[in-house]
Amino acid sequence: MKVSSIILARGGSKGIPNKNKRDFCGKPLISWTIEQCIEGGINKDDIFVSSDSQDILEIGHSYGVGSIFRTPEVSGDDATSELSWIYSINYLKKLGLNYDWIFAPQVTSPIREPIDIKNGLVMAQSGVWDSLFSATKTDQCSLWKRTKNGYPYGLESIGYDYKNRKRRQDNDIQYIENGSFYMFKPDLIKKFNNRMYGNIGIVEMDQWKSFEIDSIDDFRICSLIMKDYMLKK
């Protein structure tokens, strides 16, 4: 089984300028994902940083991994991850590089360990799944949404009956997509234009790893988790 890791990392960011190369626990944020991919068992020659930023691509070069320069059309605010992955897959194909699976980690979810990546690779190797995503198990999903009905607004529970509230231990186990990484087959993502299709599998991760950096506060929280849970090992 031949696996490539395509690491999407834009230079721009609405919330935090230069987020993907911003210092996080002593090194650029993207560095953690590159190192985890290498330690997780993906061949360095098969890891590619895909970016519109030369600075970010240079960080990848410092680790000896490949680079894919993305044009503004596939790097702007309106460009989906699917569009960027497919662009990168086609770029690699033109170089004669073909893969059975793509491992697609999210740079802004740095709280992961190499074992999480290895678990994903084992599931891909099994031949059972067409696509995979990382997730966290939970028995607490008391979600609500606002509606247009009511004053000043209405509320509606999602996925549970608040009038017949169960004990927490009686709730069904559910899984929250945590965004740490996805895995898919190149031909199928191009066919369906979606990262998930067919037989979809879950790579379960610990709850403390399910944090995403989208704000300065997220940087602080994830930094504390990284220092307390991972850097002390």
What residues pair up with 101 in beta bridges, in sequence order? Answer: 3
Q: Is 219 a residue whose pLDDT tops 90? A: yes
Domains and CATH numbers, the chain: 3-135+177-230 (3.90.550.10)
**CA 83, CA 74: separation in Å to the nearest integer?**
7
Q: What is the dihedral of CA 220, 17, 13, 134, to 10 degrees?
A: -30
pLDDT tens-place string over residues 17-59: 889 999 999 999 999 999 999 999 999 999 999 999 999 999 9
Q: How far is CA 174 from the centre of its chain?
A: 19
pLDDT tens-place string over residues 141-167: 778 888 877 666 788 888 777 778 777
Q: Is 95 a residue whose pLDDT tops 80? A: yes
Put simply, whether the predicted model's pTM sits higher than 0.75 gets the answer yes
Report the pLDDT value the prediction gives residue 133, as an integer from 0 to 100: 98
The percentage of the chain sitting over the pLDDT mark of 70, rounded to a whole number, equals 97
Which of 115-129, 136-150, 178-192, 196-210 is least confident? 136-150
83-90 average pLDDT score: 96
Report the pLDDT value the prediction gives residue 92, as an integer from 0 to 100: 97
Report the pLDDT value the prediction gives residue 100, as an integer from 0 to 100: 97
Q: Is 220 a residue whose pLDDT tops 90? A: yes
